[in-house]
Structure 1
Amino acid sequence: MNNRITGKILHGAALLAVLAGCNVASQEKSGQNEPLETRSVQDVDAETRQISSQILDVMAIKGVLSKSGPGVSVCEGSERGKIFLVRHPWSLTGTSDAELMKAMTRLKGDLPKHGWKVVEYGQNSSRGKSLELTADHVAKKFAVKVEFWKRSSGGDTNEPMLLVNVVSSCYQVPDGEKVDRF
Structure 2
Amino acid sequence: MSDDDSQKIPFAGTASTDDAVKAVKAVSSQIFDFAGVPAKASEPGPGVSACGDKDPEKYFQVYHPWNFQPNSGADTAVAMKHLKEKLNTGGWVLKDEYYDNSPNKNLNLVADNDAKKMSVSIVEYGKNDHPSLGINVISGCYQVPDGKTINHS
Does the 8 Å contact 2:14/2:145 carry over to 1? Answer: yes
1:139 aligns with 2:115: yes
Gaps spanning 5+ residues in structure 2: where?
none
Whole-angstrom CA distance in 2 between matches of 1:105 and 1:61: 11
Correspondence for 1:49: 25
Residue of structure 1 aligned with 2:95, choices 104, 119, 122? 119
The amino acid across from 1:177 in the alignment is K
Correspondence for 1:108: 84
Correspondence for 1:25: 3
Whole-angstrom CA distance in 1 between matches of 2:126 and 2:76: 8
SS in 1 for 2:14: coil
The amino acid across from 1:168 in the alignment is S
Correspondence for 1:83: 59
Q: Matched residue pairs, number?
A: 153
The Cα shift of 1:95 comes to 3.6
Correspondence for 2:145: 174
Change (3 A) 1:83 1:99: same
Does the 8 Å contact 1:95/1:160 carry over to 2? Answer: no
Q: Render the CA deviation track for 1:103-146: whole Å, top value 9, x for unaligned.
A: 10111112222210001112112222111100000111000001
Whole-angstrom CA distance in 1 between matches of 2:101 and 2:38: 28
After superposition, the CA RMSD in angstroms is 2.4
Name the % identity. 34
TM-score (normalizing by structure 1): 0.75
Whole-angstrom CA distance in 2 between matches of 1:104 and 1:141: 22
The Cα shift of 1:82 comes to 1.3
SS in 2 for 1:90: strand
Does the 8 Å contact 1:24/1:78 carry over to 2? Answer: no
TM-score (normalizing by structure 2): 0.88
Whole-angstrom CA distance in 1 between matches of 2:113 and 2:32: 16
The amino acid across from 2:46 in the alignment is P
Gaps spanning 5+ residues in structure 1: where?
1-22, 153-157
Between stretches 166-175 and 120-129, larger displacement belongs to: 120-129
Does the 8 Å contact 2:92/2:114 carry over to 1? Answer: yes
Whole-angstrom CA distance in 2 between matches of 1:97 and 1:165: 20
Does the 8 Å contact 1:121/1:133 carry over to 2? Answer: yes
The Cα shift of 1:36 comes to 6.9
Whole-angstrom CA distance in 1 between matches of 2:84 and 2:24: 20
Residue of structure 2 aligned with 1:159, choices 115, 130, 153? 130
SS in 2 for 1:176: coil
Change (3 A) 1:151 1:95: farther
Higher helix proportion = 1
